[in-house]
Amino acid sequence: MGNADKPKQFLTVGEKPVIIHTIEKFIINSHFIEIVVLVPKSWLAYTKDIIRKYIRQHEKIVVVEGGTTRNETIMNAIQYIEDCGRLTEDTIIVTHDSVRPFVTYRIIEENIKFARNFGACDTVIPASDTIVESRDGSFISNIPEREKMFQGQTPQSFKAKHLRKIYQSLTDAERAILTDACKIYVLKNEPVYLVEGEVSNIKITYPHDLRVAEAILGGNQTC
Ligand SMILES: C[C@](O)(CO)[C@H](O)COP(=O)(O)O
C-alpha cells in the first residue's frame, strides 16, 4: 500500500474503514455467536474505537490480540473461544481476511454449512489466468492444467478443535510454508470442500484495489 500510515484494513473506502465493511457482512448473519476481530496489540484500542463509532449493534463483536502469523492468529481466536467455555467438538470457526469486504451472505452461509458437513471448507474461484510454477523465479518449472486450478479466497471454515489439533502436529518447517489455513489439512491429507467464491470477493492488497473497492461501492461495476 505504498506509504500508508495504517495497515490496509484501516484505510477508508466508501467513507468507512475497510474492516468495518467486512465486519458488517458477518453482523447480519444470525448464525454467529460472536465475531472475534484479531488485530496487532498496538491496534487494539483503535479497532475498538472504530467499531463503537461505526457499528451500532456491536454487542457480539470482541477485539482480541492476534499472533505473529495468520495461523497463530487463528489459534488465538480458538483459545479465546475456549477461555469463554464455548469450545466443543462441533464448534465451527469461519476465518476471514479483514481486507475482503465484499464477501457475500451466500458465501458465508455455504461456509457454515459445508464446514459442518465436511469439517473444513475453502472459498475458491476458478483460475482465469494460466498458473505458472517456477522453482527458481527465473524459468518455468511447470504449468499445471488450468481446469484443475483455483484461486483461494476466504472465508476458510473449520471445526475449530480439529483445526487446532492438526495445526499443533505440524513441524516448524511445515508451519513456515503456510499462506492460508486450508493447507494445514492438505499437509495432513485431510479433505477440504470447495465453496464457490466470487470474483468480486477481492483482497485489498494494492492501491489499485482501493480504487476498485470504491468503484464497487459506488455501483460502478465496470471497473
Ligand atoms: C488466505 C488468502 O486470502 C487466500 O488467498 C491469502 O492467502 C491471504 O494472504 P495474505 O498473506 O494475508 O495477504
| Protein residues whose CB sits closer than 6 Å to any atom of ligand 1 | 70, 97, 152-154, 179-180, 203
- The predicted structure's pLDDT at residue 222: 46
Tell me how far the alpha carbon of residue 32 lies from the centroid of ligand 1, in angstroms.
Answer: 23
Query: Locate cell 492460508: which residue?
Result: 180
The structural architecture, per CATH, of the domain 8-222 is Alpha-Beta Complex (3.90)
Q: Which atom of ligand 1 is nearest to the CA of 156?
A: 1
Q: Which residues, 6 or more positions from 97, have their beta carbon under 8 angstroms from its beta carbon? A: 22, 154, 203
Band (pLDDT 50/70/90 cuts) for residue 3 is low
Shortest-distance Cα residue to atom 2 of ligand 1: 153
98 three-class SS: coil
pLDDT at 210 over 90: yes
Nearest CA to ligand 1 atom 3: 153
Which whole number is the average pLDDT over 41-53?
97
Between the CA of 70 and the centroid of ligand 1 the distance, in Å, is 9
Residue-wise pLDDT tens digits, 109-123: 999 999 999 999 999
Average pLDDT estimate for 60-81 = 98
For residue 1, pLDDT over 80 is answered with no
Q: pLDDT class for 217, splitting at 50, 70, 90?
A: confident
Where do the DSSP E strands lie in the chain? 12-13, 16-17, 35-39, 61-65, 92-95, 120-126, 150-159, 193-196
Q: What pLDDT is attached to residue 84?
A: 97
Given this model, what pLDDT does residue 126 score?
Answer: 98
Mean pLDDT of 10-29: 96
Instruction: Give tens-digit pLDDT for 166-186.
Output: 999 999 999 999 999 999 999
Checking 76-79 for CB contacts under 8 A at 24+ apart, the result is: 76/38, 77/36, 77/38, 78/160, 78/161, 78/163, 78/164
Mean pLDDT of the chain: 95
Domain ranges of the chain: 8-222
Q: Is the pLDDT of residue 159 over 90?
A: yes
Residues sharing a CB contact under 8 Å with residue 138, sequence separation 6 or more, in sequence order: none
Mean pLDDT of 99-103: 98
User: What ipTM was estimated for this complex?
Assistant: 0.96
